[in-house]
Structure 1
Amino acid sequence: MSSQAIWWMLAVMAVALISCVSPAALSVQNFGEMDVDLDVESERAQFNSTCKCGKKFTRIVGGTETQVNAYPWQAALFDKDTNSFVCGGSLITNQHILTAAHCFAPEVRT
């Protein structure tokens, strides 16, 4: 298995772990610069045992919009040329966004 494939697998596993961690375990220091403080050891200590894989959590109730920066780990990817939304993603470090592979493969993005 290539090292790139291993890194992608690690990134996917990190997002899976982060999705079951209490929000207190993740803190955003400065969203404008995307400084995200992730402490793996404290995340394990604060694991939310009520989280069930595959169970959706309602974040927007009755179509009500959230406040700005209410979910600072979400990212929207836009195409500069067409000024249009392409894909969503999740901040996993202060320099990395995890998104689907098809977001960067123009031939399958249609």
Structure 2
Amino acid sequence: MRLFGRKSQESESRAAAPAPDKPPLPSVRKMLVVVDGSRLTFDAVDYAIALATRLYCELIAAFVIDTAVMDYLLQMRILIKDEREDFEQDLEQKGRNALARVRSQGEA
């Protein structure tokens, strides 16, 4: 540590002492990454894959569909029932595509 251009005596004594052993990383067996299909998600997936590889743990990917929002849109008459079903099917397909992409990234 430098104080106004001088080393403190405390930092000099610490520099002379051997570094203590670092504690081991905590054991992680499973890691969860949630995807929404956006570009930022896949940047996070790349990071999660690298971290899971380094920690030797299982990576689980999830895509969540918020059906409560769709129910609300139906109640408010913003969507009709047929539109809600189509919208939900589109989201399910988007989720399957996103999860397939995560799987391919993990296998690469």
TM over 0.5: no
Larger Rg belongs to: 2
- Larger proportion of helix: 2
Q: What is the TM-score of this pair, normalised by structure 2?
A: 0.24
Higher relative contact order (CA 8 A, sep 6+): 2
- Larger proportion of strand: 1
